Amino acid sequence: MHAEIITANGEASQVAAELRSLVPDGGSVASAVAVIVADVRAAGDGAVLRYTQLHDTRGTTPLAIRVAEDELAAAHAGLDPAVTAGIELALSNVGRVARAAVHEDVTVDFGAHSVRVREVPVKRAAVYVPGGRAPYPSTVVMGVATARAAGVEYVAVCSPPGPDGRIHQAILGACVLAGADEVYRMGGAQAIAAFAYGTETVGAVDVIVGPGNLYVQEAKRQLSGRIGIDSFAGPSDLLAIADGDTPLEPLALDLIAQAEHGAGAAVVCVSPDAALLDALAQRLARDLPDTEAICRLVLVPTHEYALELAESFAPEHLELLGPLAEQLAPRITRSGAVFVGTGTAFGDYIAGSNHTLPTSGAARFASALGPQHFRRMFTEVRIDDPSELARAAAPIAREEGFEFHARSMEIRIRDNQGQ
C-alpha cells in the first residue's frame, strides 16, 4: 500500500467527510446476528459450542466453554517475565487513571428538601477480547482494570479460541494478573448473546465491553436494551497534526503502527508543510504494511484549518506533534484520546489512558472506556416540607392531564395532612 498526498480544498468539514468516506462500509450482518442471538437464547451452551466449531475452531470439536483454573495457572506461569512486568505496570497505570474518574456522591440541599446524586457499580460485567489476527492481552488490562476500579464485584473475560480450540496463552496469563473471575472460550455474536441471556455455563452480566468484529458490534447493538455496552467500535483510526520540523522517523513509525490494525484502519497525517509530507510519503513507501489500511497525507493551509479538520473528523486517536500543533491541545473537544508530543502506541499499552475508544467519528458524542461504563447514577430524594414544591408542580401535572399526580403531591402539604 502507499500513502497518497492530497491538498485540502474547500471547507475542512468536507475534507473530513471525504476522508471518512474512504473507509468501506462493513455491510449489514443484522439478520445473521439475529439468528445467532435467538439460537443462543433458546439452546444455550449447545448453540455457543456449535457456532464456535463453525467460526473459530474450523470444524474441530471445541473444548469446554469455561477455561479451567489449572490452565489459567499454567498460562500465567509460562508468561515471559518481561511481559508479566509490562502487564503489571499497565494494570497499575490504567487502574489509577480509572479511579480518578470515579465520582463521589453529591447532595444538593434546597433547604426544605434535598436531592442526593448517587453512583454505584453494576454487580457483574464481562470484557470481550478479540482473537483472530493477533492476541490482545492489552485489552484484558483495559477492560478488567477499569471494571475493578469502578467497583464491579464480578468480572468475566471471553475470547474466541483458535483452530486448536485454545485461547492464546498471553490472554490467559493477563486474565490471571488482572484478577478476572472467570474466562470463557467463546467469541462472536454468540458470546455477546451468552452474556446477555446466560447459559448453562455462562452467567448473565449487566454490562459487556470491548472491541470486536462486525458480528460482535451488531450483537451489542441488538442486545443493548438488555445489557449495558460501551460503544459500537468500528475500524481504528489515527489523525496526526504535525509541524514542519516534526522529526520524521517517530511520525512515520506512528503511522505505520496504526496501519498494523488492518483493513479499514484510517491513517491520516495533516500538515501545512509540503516538504514534510513529501519526505513522509517516501519514508512510508519503504515500510507501510500491505494491510488494506487507508493512508492519506493532507496538505492544509494553516494550523487553524488543521484544527477544524480534526474536530470534524473526530478521530479515535489524535496526535499533536511539534510546538505549534501542541498549542492546539486545549481547544480539542472531539477525539477519543489526544497524544501531545508523543505517540499513540503508549496509550494502547502502558500510559494509563484506555485504548477502547470511540471510532468512526463517534468521538463527537462518545467517550473512551471508563468507570462510567460500569457504574450507574440515580437520585435519592428527601422532602422535609413539600408545600412549596407541591403548589408549584400541581398545575403542571393538571396541564398534562394527570389529576392524581397533582393530588399525590397536594395531599402531602402539611395543611392537608389528615384530610
Query: Is 317 a residue of the active site?
Result: yes
Kindly tell me if the per-residue pLDDT of 19 is higher than 90. Answer: yes
Tell me if 373 is assigned to some domain. Answer: no
Cα–Cα distance list, 37 to 41, 59, 132, 189 (Å): 6, 21, 21, 7
In a shared domain, residues 37 and 175 = yes
Per residue in 86-141, pLDDT (tens digit) is: 999 999 999 999 999 999 999 999 999 999 999 999 999 999 999 866 789 999 99
In a shared domain, residues 81 and 228 = yes
In a shared domain, residues 256 and 184 = no
Examine the fold and report which residue of 186, 209, 233 is the final residue of a domain before the chain moves on.
233
Contact at 8 Å (CB) between 230 and 209? yes
Query: Is 316 a residue of the active site?
Result: yes
What's the grid cell of residue 102?
470515579
In a shared domain, residues 284 and 296 = yes
Examine the fold and report which residue of 188, 204, 233 is the final residue of a domain before the chain moves on.
233
In a shared domain, residues 227 and 260 = no
- Neighbouring-strand partners of residue 383: 113
In a shared domain, residues 127 and 203 = yes
In a shared domain, residues 55 and 181 = yes
Task: Choose, from 317, 319, 373, 410, the residue flagged as catalytic.
Answer: 317
Tell me if 119 is assigned to some domain. Answer: yes
In a shared domain, residues 218 and 252 = no
Task: Choose, from 316, 319, 373, 410, the residue flagged as catalytic.
Answer: 316
In a shared domain, residues 312 and 259 = yes
Cα–Cα distance list, 171 to 2, 58, 72, 141, 210 (Å): 33, 21, 10, 10, 14
- CATH number for position 116: 3.40.50.1980
Q: What is the pTM of this model?
A: 0.93
- Provide, rounded to the nearest whole percent, the portion of the chain with pLDDT above 70: 98
In a shared domain, residues 346 and 390 = no
Tell me if 184 is assigned to some domain. Answer: yes
| Domain count along the chain | 3
In a shared domain, residues 402 and 262 = no
Q: Which residue spans within 17-173 are E strands per DSSP?
A: 106-109, 113-121, 124-128, 154-159
pLDDT of residue 1: 63
Q: Which domain holds residue 60?
A: 30-233
